[in-house]
Amino acid sequence: MKKLFLIFVILCSISFSIFADCYMFLGGNYAATFKQEVINAGGLNYTVVFDWGKFRGLYLEAGVDVGIENTPAIKPYDFDYSGYSAIVSGIGLRVGYPFNFDVSEAMRFSVVPALAVDFTSINGKYGNTKVTGNGERLGLVLALSACHKLGAVYLRYGVEGEACAVAAMTYSYKQANKSYSLPGGDVTIFNDWSVMPFVSLGWRL
């Protein structure tokens, strides 16, 4: 997971010296994922946009989010789940095609349909039982944003909506000196979706 994130950042960095009309943004975001409950998270995002003009471009994004979940995702064993709490962390990658609409020389609106790949980890606890989970998500994303040119700096803000098409998680449970695993894991189809407002600052390279 960390290797894929590092490779993504390196490839984007190399591209800066190849593509002349390139924008880089770094910012923060809030994310709400709607499942059995609303999972609230905060994170950082790094976005690179290549623009060749006339609706030709490429959108790349990498982000890290951390949140808290209070409802067990699945209960395969007869444990006492009262007081459950888990830290949910994830790394997300986005690849999309930007449609840019220049309102003026200093303002641009963008609509970006994209594919999303997310790598998620869960570390939870209830009573004397610990649960860990690791998995991947594949989804569809639509990002809407506005970008203002403020001198040499660009202010970008907007919202990203994601529909998770397929999610696959494997869970492990540890109680006292015993360990349990969920056979076959947990696979869901269009089981959740998320909304992520964001704000970032960027530069043209």
97-125 residue pLDDT tens: 999 998 998 999 999 999 999 999 999 98
The pLDDT tens digits for 62-101 are 999 999 988 877 777 777 778 889 999 999 999 999 999 9
Which pair of tokens denotes residue 184? Answer: 């076959």
Structural domain contains residue 9: no
Structural domain contains residue 13: no
Structural domain contains residue 66: yes
Instruction: Give residue 171's pLDDT.
Output: 86
> Could you give the number of structural domains in the chain?
1
Read out DSSP for 7-76? HHHHHHHHHHTT-SSEEEEEEEEEEEEESSSEEEEEEEEEEEEEEEETTEEEEEEEEEEEEEE-S-S---
Which pair of tokens denotes residue 43? Answer: 């994170």
Instruction: Kindly report the average pLDDT of the chain as a whole number.
Output: 86
**What's the CATH number where 54 sits?**
2.40.160.20
The pLDDT tens digits for 139-176 are 999 999 999 999 999 999 999 999 999 999 888 888 87
Structural domain contains residue 189: yes
Buried b (16+ CB within 10 A) or exposed e, 176-205: eeeeeebeeebebeebbebebebebebeee
> Which residue, chain included where needed, has tokens 């999303």?
116
Quote the CA–CA distance of 23 and 21 in Å, as a whole number: 7
pTM for the structure as a whole:
0.82
Instruction: Give residue 11's pLDDT.
Output: 64
Structural domain contains residue 133: yes
Structural domain contains residue 12: no
Full residue range of the structural domain in which residue 67 is found: 21-204
Structural domain contains residue 16: no
